[in-house]
Amino acid sequence: MPAEITWQQQGRVVYQRYSGILTLDELRQGSILVAQHINAGTPPVHVITDARELKKYPASLEQIKNSLSQANRGALGWTVLISTNYIQRFIATTTSRLARAQFQAVSSLDEALLFLNNVDASLQLGSPTS
């Protein structure tokens, strides 16, 4: 299934959600859309990736790394992964380190919003449950 990509906070925080089976091509397409959002936003633009409903995904670190589009490096802030899956967290942590990106893994959207509010005081992210 293709990614759902929206603004969590207009121009500042991108929210992308993956579910079901993710192909390498869908990952590539989603990455391009996220890069477009980052480049159009006001730096730093943070990215929340919600993978809680993702069932199957590419397992090759090299293929994943090569499929990720490069946004303006100066515009990208933190990337936050929402997942409790150990393998997803490992892959995301490793690819983030290879890309020298700021990365944090959390278990819920509430945790992601709290983390971003704590690292960037200019954000106005409310709880999704409020």
> What is the tally of structural domains in the chain?
1
- pLDDT averaged over every residue in the chain: 86
Residue 23 belongs to domain with CATH number: 3.30.750.24
Residue 76 in domain: yes
d(CA 51, CA 89): 10
- Backbone phi, psi, residue 120, to 5°: -140, 95
**Whether pLDDT at 130 is above 80:** no
pLDDT tens profile 56-91: 877 666 666 665 656 566 788 999 999 999 888 988
Quote the DSSP letter at residue 44. Answer: S
**Residue 25: which domain range?**
4-119
- Asked if the structure places residue 21 within a domain, the reply is yes
Is 129 inside any structural domain?
no
CB atoms within 10 A of CB 76: 23
Beta strands 45-56 and 76-82, pairing class? parallel
Sign of CA dihedral 16, 89, 92, 80: positive
Query: 130 in a domain, yes or no?
Result: no
> Model-level pTM?
0.87
Is there a domain that residue 75 lies in? yes
Q: For residue 38, tell me if it sits in a domain.
A: yes
Question: Average pLDDT of 103-108?
Answer: 96
